[in-house]
Chains A and B, each alone.
Chain A
Amino acid sequence: MYDFAIQTNELSRTFGDFTAVDRITFDVKQGEIFGFLGANGAGKTTAMKMLTGLLTPTSGEARVSGLDVFKEAEEIKQNIGYMSQKFSLYDDLTPEENIEFYGGVYGLKGQELNHKKEELIHSVGLEKFRKKLVRSLPLGWKQKLAFSISIIHNPKIVFLDEPTGGVDPVTRRQFWEKIYEVSNQGITVFVTTHYMDEAEYCDRVSIMVDGRIEALDSPDELKRTFNAKSIEEIFIQLARSAERGEE
């Protein structure tokens, strides 16, 4: 039906006379782990919002899981998973209740929901804490739970918006191992991050500067092209050469 998980063509978004996203064109293959990098204000969040159906583009085209972002935004939301930096879990509900709620939102019910619930609680390791309020869980556990919940309905793509901010280095890596697990099952992962070393975990990486995509390739290829030893070096190179009229 469609070969690409995401396809965009000259996708743009302006706010008044400010161009947040400037004609970006790229694709993400099915089953890929795609890293979406860029400085604050480069346009990452805006781009992501357009792809997840939360913001209508001003011009250009984009298809997510074969669905058009202009005309089928609502269907897109049903078919993707999403996890933002703020984790979107309800602090004053238990893990069980969070699972039940989000499961219900995505149309899971009855046996299927129960089955999923047990599966999820086991895989994150929350058996002893399933009835404790999420508020009392440490950050790393919340994050793992949020991630698992975001794919509870087996979407083909999951969007992760800076999921590892501020978390300790061990938990960060455990999270990425979960991403690998998920990718192994065939789910496409679209992730933005501030940590340059995490770019290396991705199959391909794009770097946004001033609303445009200035680089897109596998980490190894990028390092060869830019003659750099790390993604961070490339990032600094690109960022320094294009200051957004200061910002």
Chain B
Amino acid sequence: MNSFNGFVVKEFKQIFRDKRTLVVLFGMPIIMLILFGFAIRNEVKNVKIGVLDLSKDAVTRELTQKLASSEAFEFSVYLSTYDEVEEVFKAGEIKEIIVFEPNFSEKLTLEGIANVQVITDATDPNLSNIVQSYTGAIIRDYIQELNYQGTTLQQGIQPTIKMMYNPELKSVNLFVPGLIAVILMLISALMTSISITREKEMGNMEILLVSPLKPIHIIIGKVLPYLVLSVINVITILILAHFIFEVPFRGSYILFFIEAIIFILTALALGVFISSVANNQQTAMMVSLAGLLLPTVLLSGFIFPVESMPYPLQMVSHIIPAKWFLIVVRSIMLKGSGIEILWMETLILFGIALFFMALSMKKFNVRLQ
């Protein structure tokens, strides 16, 4: 048994002496727990809602108050006409609009029923389900109160539910745009960083640096194949999503691809940046996975809604390129939004891309140290 013991002892010693690995072994779980713990929310908070009050009487104002004061919701906008509903949803911030029909409290008092329409953005079906059931609960509570106050209502307030953009509440419609972002990050950032560090490991980078090849040429040369591959991948995903999963594509293809290319450029630049701080493929891979992929999956709104996260994490999500890309892609695919609505997000994406491209070029080592 002695040689076995000796072997085990050795393994422990080696692990504890490798400071870098220790940081990963102990640091990672802690970070992941915090991220997961705070980011994964099944409860819903601060969801932005809007109200179209065609009646503007005491009851509707009270109901609006109730909704606004709920923790789950954040009252954002008063609409004036029904036409605005579509626009507001396309802009992306509002997840639910409540429409009170005209002469609401009259109808309630005289006929005993009044209609309220609850329209949700079902791009994220989970969120929309939750939001819609909260709304329903608040309305029912209100009815209870009214009854309690002595007003007996026969049928009370009837909410009609309308799920926009994703009436069947298909999860795949939520996931596919997010998947595009994740895959692009994977291919562009991870593969680029590995490719460049492999060159360094092999010793060939030395020769390339000493040659007339300008550093910018080396970068572009390394990056170009992955740009092409990424675009092909995006097309493939769209085709599969359309034919197999029937994911809708309601917007402009040209706009979509422009946005995709901006995002790909950002991911590529991040890959180059990582390669300049990593000396071997293993480090490059770990940094890409832990530093890029994980936040992209958790904090970009891929699965878990950003609004429900604590404020600090929401701030962090602002600098994650995928978050903006997801808003853009979901809007284009599911809502058919155009550049007029998405100009801000596009600008932000473009700015992030430029920033990282400049940073990675500056950081690229012209020498070995």
Direct contact of A and B (CB under 8 A): yes
* A residues neighboring B (CB under 8 Å): 90, 92-93, 97, 100-101, 103-109, 133
User: Is B369's CB within 8 Å of the partner chain A?
Assistant: no
> What are 17 contact pairs spanning A and B, CB under 8 A?
A92-B13, A92-B14, A92-B17, A92-B18, A93-B14, A100-B9, A101-B6, A101-B10, A103-B6, A104-B2, A104-B5, A105-B3, A105-B7, A106-B3, A107-B3, A109-B2, A133-B17
On chain A, the residues within 8 Å of B14 by CB distance are 90, 92-93
Give the nearest-CB partner of A92 in chain B: B17
User: Considering the chains assembled together, what is the distance between the CA atoms of A97 and B13 in angstroms?
Assistant: 9
Give the nearest-CB partner of A94 in chain B: B13
Q: How far is the CB of B175 from chain A (nearest CB, A)?
A: 44
Residue of B7, B13, B18 near A104 (CB, 8 A) is B7
Q: How far is the CB of A45 from chain B (nearest CB, A)?
A: 22
Give the nearest-CB partner of A103 in chain B: B6
Q: How far is the CB of B7 from chain A (nearest CB, A)?
A: 7
Determine which residue in A90, A101, A107, A133 has the highest number of CB atoms from chain B within 10 A of its CB, and name it.
Answer: A101
User: Considering the chains assembled together, what is the distance between the CA atoms of A133 and B13 in angstroms?
Assistant: 12
Q: Are the C-beta atoms of B10 and A93 separated by less than 8 Å?
A: yes
Q: How far is the CB of B21 from chain A (nearest CB, A)?
A: 11
On chain A, the residues within 8 Å of B10 by CB distance are 90, 93, 97, 101
User: Considering the chains assembled together, what is the distance between the CA atoms of A101 and B13 in angstroms?
Assistant: 11
Q: A104-B6, A107-B2 are in contact. List 4 more A-B contacts (CB 8 A).
A: A93-B10, A104-B3, A105-B3, A105-B6
User: Considering the chains assembled together, what is the distance between the CA atoms of A93 and B6 in angstroms?
Assistant: 13
Determine which residue in B2, B6, B9, B18 has the highest number of CB atoms from chain A within 10 A of its CB, and name it.
Answer: B6
On chain B, the residues within 8 Å of A106 by CB distance are 3
Q: What total of chain B residues lie within 8 Å of the partner, measured CB to CB?
A: 11
User: Considering the chains assembled together, what is the distance between the CA atoms of A98 and B6 in angstroms?
Assistant: 10
On chain B, the residues within 8 Å of A107 by CB distance are 2-3
* B residues neighboring A (CB under 8 Å): 2-3, 5-7, 9-10, 13-14, 17-18
Give the nearest-CB partner of A98 in chain B: B10
On chain B, the residues within 8 Å of A105 by CB distance are 3, 6-7
- Interface SS of chain A: helix, strand, loop or mixed? loop
Give the nearest-CB partner of B6 in chain A: A104
On chain A, the residues within 8 Å of B5 by CB distance are 104
User: Considering the chains assembled together, what is the distance between the CA atoms of A107 and B2 in angstroms?
Assistant: 7
Q: How far is the CB of B12 from chain A (nearest CB, A)?
A: 11
Residue of B2, B7, B13 near A93 (CB, 8 A) is B13
On chain B, the residues within 8 Å of A133 by CB distance are 17
Residue of A92, A101, A109 near B9 (CB, 8 A) is A101
On chain A, the residues within 8 Å of B17 by CB distance are 92-93, 133
Q: How far is the CB of B157 from chain A (nearest CB, A)?
A: 71
Give the nearest-CB partner of A106 in chain B: B3
User: Considering the chains assembled together, what is the distance between the CA atoms of A10 and B9 in angstroms?
Assistant: 43
User: Considering the chains assembled together, what is the distance between the CA atoms of A233 and B3 in angstroms?
Assistant: 46
On chain A, the residues within 8 Å of B18 by CB distance are 92
On chain A, the residues within 8 Å of B3 by CB distance are 104-107
Q: How far is the CB of B246 from chain A (nearest CB, A)?
A: 50
On chain A, the residues within 8 Å of B9 by CB distance are 100-101
Give the nearest-CB partner of A93 in chain B: B13
On chain B, the residues within 8 Å of A109 by CB distance are 2
On chain B, the residues within 8 Å of A100 by CB distance are 6, 9
On chain B, the residues within 8 Å of A103 by CB distance are 6
Give the nearest-CB partner of A135 in chain B: B17
User: Considering the chains assembled together, what is the distance between the CA atoms of A103 and B7 in angstroms?
Assistant: 11
Give the nearest-CB partner of B17 in chain A: A92
Q: How far is the CB of A30 from chain B (nearest CB, A)?
A: 27
On chain A, the residues within 8 Å of B13 by CB distance are 92-93, 97
On chain A, the residues within 8 Å of B6 by CB distance are 100-101, 103-105
Determine which residue in B2, B5, B9 has the highest number of CB atoms from chain A within 10 A of its CB, and name it.
Answer: B2
User: Considering the chains assembled together, what is the distance between the CA atoms of A133 and B14 in angstroms?
Assistant: 11
Q: How far is the CB of A145 from chain B (nearest CB, A)?
A: 16
User: Considering the chains assembled together, what is the distance between the CA atoms of A92 and B10 in angstroms?
Assistant: 10
Q: How far is the CB of B75 from chain A (nearest CB, A)?
A: 60
Give the nearest-CB partner of B5 in chain A: A104
User: Considering the chains assembled together, what is the distance between the CA atoms of A109 and B4 in angstroms?
Assistant: 12
On chain B, the residues within 8 Å of A104 by CB distance are 2-3, 5-7
Determine which residue in B3, B13, B14, B17 has the highest number of CB atoms from chain A within 10 A of its CB, and name it.
Answer: B3
Give the nearest-CB partner of B18 in chain A: A92
Q: How far is the CB of A96 from chain B (nearest CB, A)?
A: 11
On chain B, the residues within 8 Å of A97 by CB distance are 10, 13
User: Considering the chains assembled together, what is the distance between the CA atoms of A103 and B5 in angstroms?
Assistant: 12
On chain B, the residues within 8 Å of A92 by CB distance are 13-14, 17-18
User: Considering the chains assembled together, what is the distance between the CA atoms of A113 and B7 in angstroms?
Assistant: 15
Q: Are the C-beta atoms of B2 and A101 separated by less than 8 Å?
A: no
User: Considering the chains assembled together, what is the distance between the CA atoms of A104 and B18 in angstroms?
Assistant: 23
User: Considering the chains assembled together, what is the distance between the CA atoms of A103 and B3 in angstroms?
Assistant: 8
On chain B, the residues within 8 Å of A101 by CB distance are 6-7, 9-10
On chain B, the residues within 8 Å of A108 by CB distance are 2
Q: How far is the CB of A53 from chain B (nearest CB, A)?
A: 16
Q: How far is the CB of A100 from chain B (nearest CB, A)?
A: 7
